[in-house]
Amino acid sequence: MSETYIYIAVMAVVTYLIRVLPLTLIRREIKNVTLRSFLYYVPYVTLSVMTFPAMMESTGSQWSGLAAFAAAVLLAWRGFSLFSVAVAACVLVFVIELFIC
């Protein structure tokens, strides 16, 4: 039981340090174009890395998840709104799971 509290404390400290250290160590504006570009894309990459595996594993079949992913990419590429892309992907998964799998 006490090991659980130690694990929670270590996670809290690590999370706190990750958030506080950049604020304390970097006090001036970052002028390096490469580093600024890298930091600009970090949230998008993180969201993609968390979303894609969940999308493949949350459906009954990986094929329906892959089809929904392809449809979502195509619709987003064509300029559809986030809501319409999400609804289309959900409907496609529903139809594939209902009739094909």
The pLDDT assigned to 88 comes to 95
15 vs 20: CA distance, rounded Å: 9
Domain that holds residue 82: 2-99
Instruction: Name the token pair of 42.
Output: 């970090």
Domain count, the chain: 1
pLDDT in tens, the chain (101 residues): 688 999 999 999 999 988 888 778 777 888 889 988 998 998 889 888 888 888 888 888 888 999 999 999 999 999 999 999 999 999 999 999 988 86
CB of 54 within 8 A of CB of 68?
no
Please report the pLDDT score of residue 101 as a whole number.
64
